[in-house]
Amino acid sequence: MKFVDEARILVVAGDGGNGCVSFRREKYIPKGGPDGGDGGDGGDVYLLADENLNTLIDYRFEKSFRAERGQNGQSRDCTGKRGQDITIKVPVGTRVRDVATGEILGDMTRHEQRLMVAKGGFHGLGNTRFKSSVNRAPRQKTMGTSGETRELMLELMLLADVGMLGMPNAGKSTFIRAVSAAKPKVADYPFTTLVPSLGVVRMDNEQSFVVADIPGLIEGASDGAGLGIRFLKHLERCRVLLHLIDICPVDESDPVENARIIVNELQQYSEKLAEKPRWLVFNKVDLLEPEEAKQRAQAIADELGWEGDFYMISAINRLGVKELCWDIMEFMKTKPRNMSTTEDGAQPEKVEFMWDDYHKEQLEQVSEADDDWDDDWDEDDDEGIEVIYKR
């Protein structure tokens, strides 16, 4: 299945049903009073995170989703039926952004997590709501409000513990094949990896972590060179980044310059991502003598101004891979995942609609001083109260 990590959709909530103007008319009850019911609320639009999905390809073809409209009120104080909600399933790890405002509405980071993205319209009031001691035959009603309409950008970001960075052919896919059951394509040409892939590294029966492999970066990626930097967003939720450096490039390029290119592209994409813990890993050390490989790795680290430790591995021979994985596992234990959706970790405030305030506002809009709303009705009206239906 094709991997699609971005999709733009239109969601439209249902409109609220209109209130009804109606009067009770039965035998021997000529002046039964108002009995027009309220309309029904419009349906809402929800997103639902589903762990069984791994791509947004469905929303490349179906782009518009509309909830049901609320029914109008009816006579005999019958309230209109509420519009049916609709639920849109998205993969776990999807970020939802409002295209018009740029606001992030939420991150779908848990299975079965629900997020309302469009609120249905509120129901209109029937004429029963407007009756009073001086207004016994009201002909006022209110219309239902329109449901929200939003254009959303769905951005799928993989949920991984470890993200891998490096130039094309640095050995990222070979590493993930060595430590997990994932089998990304490996070949001797650049950009063999075209889409991100995940691998689960199981250290024992109870300990494991997830590694994300993304296509390699080249100089100018932030300006669109190569595959660009669109896949860097998949590293935003990682707890640690592994920066793989080919210690002996086949094209005889400078490993120091290659490493600086990656760091520069990372900083241009996001300062927050550039500040994440980053480990230096030298790959393909089996191509050199052990002492020569160690000296070259130390020289590269010194030129980069690297102050911490670094790792020397050979992904294809699994040399040093096990030790690196155990160190990652220990790091995972000390750095629990933070799945908060806001910058400061606080949960976004949930605003509930105040029905009492809404009804009060609608009733206050009818002025008691306006006496010409029912000029054709009086106490001696032999014809009784006429029946009026408006929908």
Phi-psi region of 261 (alpha: psi -120 to 50; beta: other; left: phi over 0): alpha
- What are the DSSP E strand ranges found in the chain? 6-12, 45-50, 64-66, 86-91, 94-98, 104-108, 114-118, 149-156, 162-165, 197-202, 208-213, 240-246, 278-283, 310-312
Q: Mark the binding-site residues, compressed into ranges.
A: 166-173, 191-195, 213-216, 283-286, 314-316
Contacts of 5 (CB under 8 A, 6+ apart): 55, 56, 155, 156, 157, 196, 230, 231, 233, 234
Of 209, 175, 199, nearest to 314 by C-alpha is 175
Q: Mark the binding-site residues for GTP, compressed into ranges.
A: 166-173, 191-195, 213-216, 283-286, 314-316
Q: Mark the binding-site residues for Mg(2+), compressed into ranges.
A: 173, 193
- CA distance to 184, 213, 238, per residue, from 193 (Å): 7, 8, 19
Return the percent helix, strand and coil in the chain, to nearest 5. Answer: 25, 20, 55
